[in-house]
Every structure is written in C-alpha cells, then in structure tokens.
Structure 1
Amino acid sequence: MTDPGVRTAPLASPIHAILLAFPVALYPAALVSDIAYLQTAVVQWTNFSQWLIAGADLFAGLLLAWALIAFFFGPGRRMGARGARGRSLLYLIVVASMFVTGFVNALQHAKDGWHSVGTAGLVMSIVCTVLALVAAFIVHSRTVVTETRS
C-alpha cells in the first residue's frame, strides 16, 4: 500500500518514449550493417548504414529538443521531485552526446568506400548504440517519487 501523499511519476512522457524508440532501434541496426560490410565488403551495406544513421539522427534531434523542453519546463521542475533533476540532466547529457556522435558518424559514413566504415565508423556506431541504450535505461529504469501537498 502506498502513502496517499506520495505518488510515482515516470521521467518521460509517452511521446518522449516513442521518439527514443527510433534511435534505440536504428543505431544498433546501423552497427549490424557496418559489421556486415566489414565481413563482406558489399558496398550496399554502407548505403544501408547511411540511411539507418540518418533516420536515427533525425529522431535523436527531435528527442534532444524534447529532452531540453522537459528539462526546463517538465513536471520535475514544478513539483520538486527528489532526484528527478539529476536524472533529467544526466539523460539530457547522454542524449546530446548521442546526437553529436550520431551526426559525426553520419559524416564519417558519407565518405567513399572502405573509408566510410573502417575503424572510426564502427567505433562511432558502437558508441551511438551504447548511448541509445543508456538513454533508454535512464528513462525506463525507475520511477521518480514526488511528494504531493494539499
């Protein structure tokens, strides 16, 4: 039984979770296609990676904008949620890092042939994948307890 003066609230809204789902799916798919290119040297895999990264970057940009709005105007700021500001700031840093790394990764993949993936492209795809999964873990790992006053 819960205390009637305390309620739990998720860190992110459902729209935020939908926007986060795209980078969580597309960055690992780009990593898999990078690995496939390194194994087969078929150029179509790099084209596939470019499109996956572009889609992930699009939604990562929207996600970053939504995270900024939530950080400055979200319910954690108004209701004084314990720990919500720290988690929101950490989440904002992770999403911003994911977006910047994804953008640089897109530029790396725009190069020609073998230079597009190589070591740098593969490492950036791994970093983007890990950051997307960390962002999802931060948002969905636990709820924030807020105190309601009447």
Structure 2
Amino acid sequence: MHALLVFCAISLSLGALLSNWAYWTTEQIQWTNFASWLTAGALVFTGVALVWALVERALRRNRHGAPPLLYLLGLTACCAVGLLSSLVLAKDGWAAMPAALWLSVLAVLLVTVTGGLGAVGLRRRVAP
C-alpha cells in the first residue's frame, strides 16, 4: 500500500511541477490553480503514507518488516515541502512564481527518492 500511495504522490507532484512551469512560460493564471490542487493532492497522499508508515513502525517495533527510518524521514520531508509549496502557491501568481517552481522541483526529487527507498524496503521485507 505504501508504494501505491507514494507513487500517486509522485505523479501528482510531477503534474504540479509541469503546471508551475506552464505558468512560468505562458502567464495563464489557471496553471497556478492546477498546481495548487495537484500539490494539495500530493500532500494528502504523502500524509496518508506517513501516518500509515508510523503506525506500521509502532506496531512492529522490534520485528523485521517495519518501514526504515530513512523512509519515514523522507516522507516527513515530502510533507514539509508540500505544505510549504501549498502556502507559497496561495499567494498571487507572480508573487509565488520563482519559489513555487523551485519547491515543485524539490518536491518531485524528494518524493521520487522516497519512493525508491520505499520500494527497496518493500523488496527486502518480501524477500525470504
């Protein structure tokens, strides 16, 4: 379930990045609305994945199969960057623009790396 949640967040973050880039190049205000909604969606998915991973780690405290700590830190960083990006996108279009674009790039990189960490962790848990 972690992989599904994180990979949905990857696609939404990538969509937000492309929407921010489209606004940067075309100056059509609707692109910032798209980016705002896509960022909020990615934040929801990473938040649910983070809560799920924390509960799973708490329930499997001493056993193998708990999510790695680096994965939890990555999800926390993704949530923090997503929240900051949402707050920046709440501004006027041009007031938010350089920061929103760079935060989108950072969000895509973070969620992709975190998804990779989660996939590696899932393979280790499933392998005999």
Task: Provide the TM-score with structure 1 as the length reference.
Answer: 0.76
**Regions of 4+ moved over 6 Å:** none
Which of 48, 54, 68 aligns to 1:88? It is: 68
Which of 85, 90, 96 aligns to 1:110? It is: 90
Identity %, equivalent residues: 34
Q: Deviations over 1:49-107 (max 9, x none)?
A: 01101111111111110111122223x732xx4xx66x710000000000011001000
> Quick check: 1:119 aligned with 2:105?
no
Aligned length: 126
Residue identity matched to 1:137: G
Unaligned stretches of 5+ residues in structure 1? 1-14
Q: Is the Cα contact below 8 Å between 2:9 and 2:111 reproduced in 1? A: yes
Which of 47, 62, 65 aligns to 1:77? It is: 62
Q: Is the Cα contact below 8 Å between 1:26 and 1:55 reproduced in 2? A: yes
Which of 19, 22, 37 aligns to 1:33? It is: 19
More helix by share: 2
Which structure is richer in relative contact order (CA contacts within 8 A, separation 6 or more)? 1
Could you tell me how far 1:125 is from its partner in structure 2? 0.6
Could you tell me how far 1:32 is from its partner in structure 2? 0.6
Could you tell me how far 1:145 is from its partner in structure 2? 6.4
Larger radius of gyration: 1
Residue identity matched to 1:39: T
Cα RMSD of the aligned pairs, angstroms, is 2.1
More strand by share: 1
Residue identity matched to 1:35: W
**What pairs with 1:58-77 in structure 2 (closer than 5 Å)?**
58-74=44-60, 77=62
Q: Is the Cα contact below 8 Å between 2:2 and 2:118 reproduced in 1? A: no
Could you tell me how far 1:113 is from its partner in structure 2? 2.1
Which of 134, 138, 142 aligns to 2:117? It is: 138
SS of the equivalent of 1:144 reads helix
SS of the equivalent of 1:141 reads helix
